[in-house]
Structure 1
Amino acid sequence: MTVTAPTGLVPAPAPAARPGVPRRPHPLSALRRGRGLVGTVLVGVVVLAGLAAPLLAPYDPLAQIPGANLLPASATHWLGTDEVNRDVFSRTLYGILANLGIIAVAVPLGAVTGALVGLVSSLSAAVDVVAQRVFDVLLAFPVLILGIALAAVLGPGATTVVVVIVAAEIPIFGRLLRGAALRVRETPYVEAATVVGAGRWWVLRRHVLPNAAEPAGVQVAVSLSVAVFVESAMSFIGIGVRPPDPSLGSIVADSVQYLDVNPAMALGPLVVITTLTLGFLLVAQALAAGRRVAG
């Protein structure tokens, strides 16, 4: 026996979106167009080139090629060779890999450490006073001056570069998260949650961190661009990655006295540094613009 529904009944329509309430765009949607897309492509190309260095490099970056002293750019050596017969193109690719390895460790470490200090300082007045004074001291030194001071204590090398970048990023992310915590803590819905018994860590986890995620993402992109410059600058003045290991800054430093013989020796690393820095800055600008639109 077949039972049919009464003809007068129809399924209830799905609830419609409230009129006048725009849908909040995804935070990363700004990277799909305009400057965000350009920046993502620039960063992606350089990152892929660095990660594929063992496959793309035609020579060992440390190998001294017989009879190839300061050769100009050619089909055999795309960026020529240096003063000790090494292929500059191969060294540039491995220099990208070294740069990416340093900033991939230093920036997240500085961001997480600074964020934790900022969150804790927002909960304790005593910790806040100490943290802010430490932040003031760190921010008082230009990054390169701080790098020279730490290199005098720790010695030059990649580890010193990581420590310098971490020390430079801690106060930036610390104050960013502290400001977000203090700002969100004064909102009516957080006050209401506190009245009904919500703890401070619950408020931080449910309200402060989500509200600080987007500005922190913008700051991460800016910090990555700064870290590229810091690593290259420290290697350029001789307190970064130590020879004979390749680094973008050290390759540029070695090329200064040979620009009239092989200008490509400096041009290649400089193009990479500029491309990577510009790419991260474009990503940061796109994320910041998308955040303003969403707000």
Structure 2
Amino acid sequence: MSQDLTTAPQGAGPEPTVGLRRSGALRQALRRPAIIIAGGLFIVICVAASLGPFFAGDPNAFNALERLQAPSLAHPFGTDNLGRDIAVRVLFGGRASLLVGFAVGLVSVAVGSLIGIAAAMFRPVDLLLMRVVDGIMSFPIIVLALSMMAILGPGLQTVIISLSIVLVPSVARVVRGRALVVSQLPMIDAARMVGASRWRIMRTYVLAHCVTPVLVQAAIVFTTAVLIESALSFIGAGLPPDTPSWGASLAESRNYLQTAWWMWLFPGLALLATVLSANVVIDGVRDVLDPRSARR
């Protein structure tokens, strides 16, 4: 017993085992065709949305003589009701949507994980933090996002801040639940007995065992942020009108559903492919990291 207590906080405890198990799980995930296909599609979308705008033209360039043209060699995705190239607008819209998704995911996971672990390890503040979290989660996401947009005003940064505030509570709630389970494990008691600080326990043990739920929540937050941003832009409450967005492109196509099918098809496919590929990847990785979830 004394040998176990001595070696626990010095790195010979669960860290190498967790790291090796996670590394082997990721190698196993890369052998699954669904993960490879979905991951490849997601990477292609990210690369196209990141680099495409540098080689494309102006997404807001009007050309009345080329309005509502079907897909052709000159315009692979056709043109919209104002003569703008839809392919260019899809690329620029993808950059905005992915930027919102990644930024909101990063902020929500970082802040939510901090709140969740703090609530689990510092029980006197647990009640206060969780009541705030419950209060925010009691509002519908769209309604709360619209309220934040009305307070902060339109803009890309406003969308990121608003969605981060809305989606942090869901991450905090999941991380807190996992951290409470980990805090009751024997290795935590052993680390405390040999004098490990609370900060070391949180960083080395608790946080390491929260990686799997954090990964899942990161993907959920990303896809949710992309969908909410598109929904807000669809109703005109998201990005500014001069900023291309998949949601705004879908809104502009409502009056041309039958006469100009390409106006809604390509932005809709881009949005669907992004959300679907991200969900397939994270579901596969989650099943590999936590085989019990695949058997449920």
- The TM-score normalised by the length of structure 1 is 0.86
- Assess if the C-alpha contact under 8 Å between 2:121 and 2:183 holds in 1: no
Residue number in structure 1 paired with 2:129: 131
State the partner residue of 2:203: 205
Partner of 1:248: 246
Query: Are positions 1:24 and 2:29 aligned together?
Result: no
Cα separation, partners in 2 of 1:208 and 1:25, compared to 1, 3 Å: closer
Structure-2 change in CA distance of 1:206 and 1:282 (3 Å): same
Match of 2:95 in 1: 97
Aligned counterpart, 2:166: 168
Contact 1:31 1:40 in 2 (8 A): no
Over 3 Å counting, the alpha-carbon distance change for 1:25 and 1:134 in structure 2 is closer
The Cα shift of 1:278 comes to 0.3
CA drift at 1:161: 1.9
User: Residue 48 of structure 2 aligns with which residue?
Assistant: 49
What is the rounded CA distance, in whole Å, between the counterparts of 1:109 and 1:156 in structure 2? 19
Secondary structure at the residue paired with 2:79? coil
Q: Is the 8 A contact 1:70 1:85 kept in 2?
A: yes
2:64 and 2:82 in contact (8 A); partners too: no
Residues 156 and 238 in structure 1, CA contact (< 8 A), matched pair in contact too: no
**Do the aligned partners of 2:141 and 2:166 also contact (CA within 8 Å) in 1?**
yes
Q: Deviations over 1:176-219 (max 9, x none)?
A: 22222221121112112211211211111111011111221122
8 Å CA contact 2:68–2:260 kept in 1: the answer is: yes
Q: Provide the residue aligned with 1:17 in structure 2.
A: none
SS in 1 for 2:253: helix
Structure 1 contact 114–170 (Cα < 8 Å) conserved: yes
Find the aligned partners of 2:188 and 2:123 in 1 and give their Cα distance.
Answer: 20
Structure 1 residues 172 and 31, CA gap change in structure 2 (3 angstroms):
farther
- Provide the alpha-carbon RMSD of the alignment: 1.8
Question: In 2, Cα distance between the equivalents of 1:28 and 1:141?
Answer: 36
Q: Partners of 2:183 and 2:22 in 1: how far apart?
A: 25
CA distance in 1, matches of 2:206, 2:121: 12
* Contact residue 119 and residue 177 of structure 1 kept, 8 A: yes
* Paired position in structure 1 for 2:73: 75
Aligned-pair distance for 1:246?
Answer: 0.5
Partner of residue 177, structure 1: 175
Counterparts of 1:193 and 1:235, CA distance in 2: 50
Per-residue CA shift, 1:215-268, capped at 9, x if unaligned? Answer: 211221222111211111111111111112100100000011122221101100
Counterpart of 1:249, as a letter, is G
Partner deviation per Cα, 1:116-159 (whole Å, 9 max, x = no partner): 11122223333211111111111112211111111221223322
Which structure 2 segments of 5+ residues have no match?
1-19
Match of 1:148 in 2: 146
Helix, strand or coil: the match of 2:174?
helix
Q: 1:116 to 1:100 in 2, by over 3 A?
A: same
1:230-249 maps to which residues of 2 (within 5 A)? Answer: 230-249=228-247
Separation in 1 of the partners of 2:285 and 2:31?
Answer: 11
- Asked if 2 retains the 8 angstrom alpha-carbon contact of 1:219 and 1:284, the reply is no
- Is the contact between residue 241 and residue 247 of structure 1 (CA under 8 Å) also seen in structure 2? yes
CA deviation string 1:96-128 (max 9, x = no partner): 011111112111011101111112222333321
User: Within 2, Cα distance between the matches of 1:267 and 1:197?
Assistant: 61
Aligned to 1:115: 113
Match of 1:86 among 84, 87, 92: 84
Identical columns (%): 33
CA distance in 1, matches of 2:262, 2:141: 29
Q: Indicate if the aligned counterparts of 1:106 and 1:163 stay in contact, CA closer than 8 A.
A: yes
**Paired AA for residue 116 in structure 2:** G
Q: Number of aligned residue pairs: give it.
A: 272
Q: Which has the larger Rg?
A: 1
Q: Does the residue aligned with 1:52 lie in a helix, a strand or coil?
A: helix
- Following superposition, the deviation at residue 294 of structure 1 comes to 8.9
Contact 1:70–1:262 (Cα < 8 Å) also in 2: yes
- If the length of structure 2 is used for normalisation, what is the TM-score? 0.86
Distance in 2 between residues matched to 1:256 and 1:65, nearest whole Å: 20
1:14 corresponds in structure 2 to: none
CA distance in structure 2 between the aligned counterparts of 1:164 and 1:32, rounded to whole angstroms: 38
Amino acid at match of 2:63: I
